[in-house]
Structures are given as structure tokens and as C-alpha cells.
Amino acid sequence: MPDQPGPRRELQRIRDGGGPGADDARAALTATSPRDRLRAAILALAMARGAKSSTCPSDAARAVADDWRPLLDEARQLARELAESGEVRLTQRGRPLDPGGDWSGPIRISRR
């Protein structure tokens, strides 16, 4: 679908491929709650990109909404929660972030 933002097309490819992250991609594309969609998008993108790559909160927000900027703070908070629970790892400029610590600026999310 050429009219879809890149991250949304990526979720569709992940879902259709049936590999790692497919179930989360399906949830990201169909869940009714924006929070559930964001959470699933973060997990699907991180899983599909693998341990040697990463995603950012804005990718998840872009994947679930055309007007994604209002969702960015919530995506960052969800990334923090997922890192606290051990589901993902957060980095900034290549260095690990403490999910319970104080940080600001761009972050990256990768699979554990």
C-alpha cells in the first residue's frame, strides 16, 4: 500500500510474513485501544528488526496513527515500561539506558 507510512507497511509485512513479531504486528494493526496498538507495534518492530538493529518510539507511533506526534510521549512511556519488565532494551547513542532512570532525548528500542 504505497499511501501508508513506512512503519505501517513494515507492520503489514511482519504480520503477513508470519515470523517473529507477527502476532504483535497483527495486534498493532487491529487492537481498538491506541495504547495496546502502540505496545504491540513496539514489540513487533523490535522483534522483527532483531537483536542487531533497533527501532524508535516514533516508528511505533507512525505505524499506528496518521497523526502520530500526539502519541510520541505515550510510546516513550510504553518503551520504558517494556524495558522495566525486561521485554526490550533501551539505548541512547549506543549506550544502555536504565529504564527507571532519568533520561531525555532520542532513544532506541531493541529486542532483549
The DSSP code sequence of 13-61 is: HHHHHTSTTHHHHHHHHH-SSHHHHHHHHHHHHHHHH-TT--B-HHHHH
Query: Which three three-digit cell numbers place residue 31?
Result: 487492537
Determine the average pLDDT of the residues in 2-20: 85
Q: Which residues of 8-45 are buried (b: 16+ CB within 10 A; e: fewer)?
A: bebbbebbeeeebbbebbbbbbebeeeeebbbbbbbbb
Provide mean pLDDT across the span 82-101. 95
Q: What is the pLDDT of residues 33-79, one digit of tens each?
A: 999 999 999 999 999 998 889 999 999 999 999 999 999 999 999 99
Percentages (nearest 5) of helix, strand, coil residues in the chain: 55, 10, 35
pTM over 0.75: yes
